Structure formats: C-alpha cells, structure tokens
Structure 1
Amino acid sequence: MSDEPGTPADDFPHGAGHPARGALRAAGYTRLAQLTTVTAAEVLALHGVGPKAIGVLREALAAEGLAFAGE
C-alpha cells in the first residue's frame, strides 16, 4: 500500500466488490499481476471472495494478457 495521496491501495477492478478487494489486500495482494502466482481456487478460498469476484478478476487478468496460475 502506498502512502502517497491519490495512489490507490490496489489495482483490482471495482466490480470484484469491496469484500473481495479487502480480502486480497489482507492476504498481501495489491496488484492484479500478483494473482498470476496463485490459482483461482486459492483466491476463492479467501473469506470475502466469491465466484462473481473470481470471474471479474479472471476477465481483468485476461485483458492484461494474464491468468491465474495454472490457467
């Protein structure tokens, strides 16, 4: 997380939902690219992350030419 004013705490899509984004930050993830090191199942196991958030994150990753680990 950056201390600079105006710098977002993460770059996850807002469509993923506040609980999911908070869960990802609590787990130490702040950048979409970091999710390429974990599987969708591992992210789904985080409290606050549901199937909708996984779909939104998967689409955001794909838009950047990225994917969850193993996909």
Structure 2
Amino acid sequence: MREKTLRICEKGHRYYKSTDCNTCPKCEQENKPVEGFLARLSSPARNALIHEGITTLEQLAQHTEKEILKLHGIGPASMPTMRAALEEKGLSFK
C-alpha cells in the first residue's frame, strides 16, 4: 500500500490520499446533490455519469446496462440503485 500524501485542493482544503486520484473529498461532499438519483450514488459512480453527460433518468434510460458498466467509476453495486430509480419513473435501461 502506498503512503498517504498531503494534498491541497484549489479551494484550500487539506486532505491525505494514497492514490493518484486528485479529487478532493471535501469538495466532493460540498458538490453532492441532495436530491435526485445522482444523490443516491457513490461519488465515483456519480462522477462517471456526469462526465458522460448523463444527469437525468431519461438520459440514463437511453443506455444499456452494459454501456453504463463500462464507465470508469461504475461497478455492479451501483446498478440496483440506478435500476430502482429508473423503475420509480416508469423507465428502464435500453
């Protein structure tokens, strides 16, 4: 395991990480949505969808589960949450 190093984000938050990921956990918490399906997902999964321009359930429904699982940050554990959110709106994966 790599040693954790001190990092400071552009907002001045100080945090330690052992990976190459430059995401500030404090900024991530501040940016987390409080409602909607994205609020139910982990930061990596949420960021993967946002990076692909998927911010609504209607946009999510335009993709297959296989396509979504290929995104970096999305794992099998995220799928039940997304399926449930889609079903609540009468939608499903393509």
Structure 2 residue runs of 5 or longer lacking an equivalent are 1-32
Higher helix share: 1
Aligned residue for 2:71?
46
**Percent same amino acid among aligned pairs?**
43
Question: Unmatched 5+ residue regions in structure 1?
Answer: 1-7
More strand by share: 2
Kept after mapping to 1: 8 A contact 2:62/2:93: yes
RMSD: 1.7
Higher relative contact order (CA 8 A, sep 6+): 1
Tell me whether 1:35 sits opposite 2:60 in the alignment: yes
Detail structure 1 runs of 4+ shifted over 4 Å in the superposition. Answer: none
Counting matched residue pairs gives 61
Report whether the alignment pairs 1:57 with 2:82. Answer: yes
Query: Which whole-Å deviations, capped at 9, do the CAs of 1:26-48 have from their partners, x for residues lacking one?
Result: 01111111111110110010000
The answer for the alignment partner of 1:66 in structure 2 is 91
TM-score (norm 2): 0.59
Query: TM-score w.r.t. structure 1 length?
Result: 0.76
- Greater C-alpha radius of gyration: 2
